[in-house]
């Protein structure tokens, strides 16, 4: 087991695919004779990246937007990954007020805007207790949730009932606190304050109708009317225009059980305060014995992804390690793992 400090941007599975050839050709994980035998089988060999049956897995994926601790298991280490999947994790997230998106984060499309000028840090802190302890939670239903391999929106468009109830999950929020509040910078300048903006893409009216049908299906078939945090808007008002300054952001730190959707918590808090909110930044700072980003850019006891990026690029140029290279010193990425 080891952990990578994932940056924001890359897809986790793409990262794993990138390091598989490194793992398969490393003396740490394979005997030199096994490496040589796998090379002779050539590119058509089905398990060319798994000589000797080497397996690779991760202890909980992160969205492309997110950064932080990404635990990697190699070989027998993969058997220990479930403990990390189920165990508590600590996150820090930044949320932007005033807009709800279909994915609950800045990668999605704007579903609606909402008033935000009545919101204060104290108001946010006043609703956090609703989300502490054991709660029932649904994943973001408009983005990736599927049933029998079919997205929920397809059932909605076809006017069909769901094959079975939506599985709302019980999760535990061990701790939840607001750690920062920041006003937005002026729209027409570089003044003080943050510079996060709403996504430019908007959900079409047709898609909004489909999304409403999806929610109706979820509530009807899933029987989750009492899901914690899925409250009605506390304030109904005309959304404020983005006239002078960006809406504020608030930052949360939370320790949660496995399977918790941080995006859903932020989305539900937006409803609870009579506004809307979506995630613009997310970091997993602690998982098991691994930690990173105690200071900006600090990998902690994780390995910086840049170490592997350099190794992947070098491998493209030099080719895999061969038998006559087996007595060389460890490479930079191997030293980092060791």
Per-residue pLDDT tens digits for 215-231:
776 665 554 433 444 44
d(CA 291, CA 269): 27
Residue range 105-114, pLDDT digits in tens: 999 899 999 9
Q: Return the pLDDT at 50.
A: 45
| Degrees to nearest 5, angle at CA 112 with 109 and 117 | 120
String of DSSP letters for 86-129: HS-EEEEEEEEETEEETTSBTTS-EEEE---TT--HHHHHHHGG
Listed in sequence order, the residues at least 6 apart from 158 whose beta carbon sits closer than 8 Å to its beta carbon are none
Residue range 17-47, pLDDT digits in tens: 999 989 988 888 877 666 666 666 654 544 4
Of the pLDDT bands very low, low, confident and very high (cuts 50, 70, 90), residue 187 is: confident
> What three-state secondary structure class fits 220?
helix
Beta pairing class for 2-6 and 303-304: parallel
String of DSSP letters for 252-283: EEEEE-TT--HHHHHHHHHHHTTS-EEEEEEE
In this structure, what is the dihedral angle of CA atoms 29, 35, 37, 38, given to the nearest 10 degrees? Answer: 80
Q: Which of the residues 63, 67, 318, 324 is marked catalytic?
A: 63
| Degrees to nearest 5, angle at CA 71 with 69 and 76 | 170
Q: Return the pLDDT at 225.
A: 35
Of the pLDDT bands very low, low, confident and very high (cuts 50, 70, 90), residue 294 is: low
Residue 315 structure tokens: 């491998």
Taking the domains of the chain in order of start, what are their residue ranges?
2-40+49-84+293-337, 89-287
Per the annotation, the verdict on 86 as an active-site residue is no
Of 303, 201, 297, nearest to 8 by C-alpha is 297
Give buried/exposed letters for 45-79 (b at 16+ CB in 10 A, else e): eeebbbbeebebbbbbebbebbbbbbbbbbbebbe
Q: What totals of helices (H) and strands (E) does the chain contain, helices first?
A: 9, 14
Q: Is the dihedral of CA 138, 139, 144, 146 positive or negative?
A: negative
Give whole-number Cα distances, 38 to 31, 43, 46, 128, in Å: 11, 9, 10, 55
Q: Return the pLDDT at 213.
A: 76
Whether 250 contacts 233, CB under 8 Å: no
Long-range contacts of 209-212 (CB under 8 A, 24+ apart): 210/153, 210/156, 210/157, 211/102, 211/111, 211/142, 211/153, 211/156
Q: Is the dihedral of CA 322, 325, 329, 331 positive or negative?
A: negative
Which carries the bigger pLDDT value, residue 58 or residue 142? 58
Of 62, 54, 59, 22, nearest to 290 by C-alpha is 59
CATH of domain 89-287: 3.30.70.3190
Region of 181 (left: φ > 0; alpha: ψ -120 to 50; beta: rest) is: beta
Sole residue written with tokens 């929920």? 152
Residue range 106-138, pLDDT digits in tens: 998 999 999 999 999 999 999 999 999 999 887
What does residue 132 show for φ and ψ, rounded to 5 degrees? Answer: -95, 155
Calculate mean pLDDT across residues 244-258.
95
Q: Return the pLDDT at 133.
A: 96
Which H helix or E strand runs over 318? helix 305-318
């Amino acid at each position: 087991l080891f952990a990578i400090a994932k940056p924001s941007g890359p897809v986790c599975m793409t990262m794993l695919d990138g390091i598989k050839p490194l793992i398969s050709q490393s003396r740490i994980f394979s005997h030199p004779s096994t490496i040589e035998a796998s090379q002779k089988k050539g590119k058509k060999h089905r398990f060319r990246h798994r000589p000797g049956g080497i397996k690779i897995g991760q202890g909980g994926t992160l969205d492309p937007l997110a950064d932080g601790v990404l635990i990697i298991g190699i070989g027998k280490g993969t058997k220990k990954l479930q403990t990390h999947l189920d165990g508590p994790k600590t996150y820090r997230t930044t949320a932007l007020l005033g807009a709800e998106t279909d994915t609950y984060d800045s990668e999605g499309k704007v579903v609606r805007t909402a008033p935000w000028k009545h919101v204060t840090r104290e108001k946010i802190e006043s609703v956090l207790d609703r989300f502490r302890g054991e709660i029932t939670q649904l994943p973001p239903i408009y983005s990736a949730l599927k049933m029998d391999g079919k997205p929920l929106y397809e059932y909605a468009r076809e006017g069909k009932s769901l094959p079975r109830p939506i599985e709302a999950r019980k999760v535990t929020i061990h701790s939840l606190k607001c750690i920062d509040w920041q006003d937005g910078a002026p729209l027409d300048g570089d003044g003080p304050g943050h510079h996060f903006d709403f996504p430019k893409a908007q959900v079409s009216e047709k898609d909004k109708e489909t999304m409403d049908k999806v929610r109706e299906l979820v509530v009807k078939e899933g029987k989750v009317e009492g899901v914690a945090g899925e409250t009605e808007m506390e304030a109904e008002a005309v959304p404020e225009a983005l006239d002078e300054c960006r809406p504020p952001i608030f930052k949360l730190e939370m320790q949660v059980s496995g399977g918790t959707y941080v995006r859903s918590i932020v989305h539900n808090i937006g409803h609870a305060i009579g506004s809307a909110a979506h995630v613009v930044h997310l970091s997993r700072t602690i998982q098991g014995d691994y930690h990173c980003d105690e200071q900006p850019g600090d990998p902690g006891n994780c390995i910086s992804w840049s170490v592997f990026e350099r190794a992947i690029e070098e491998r493209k140029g030099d080719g895999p390690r061969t038998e006559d290279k087996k007595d060389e010193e460890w490479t930079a990425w191997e030293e980092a793992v060791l």
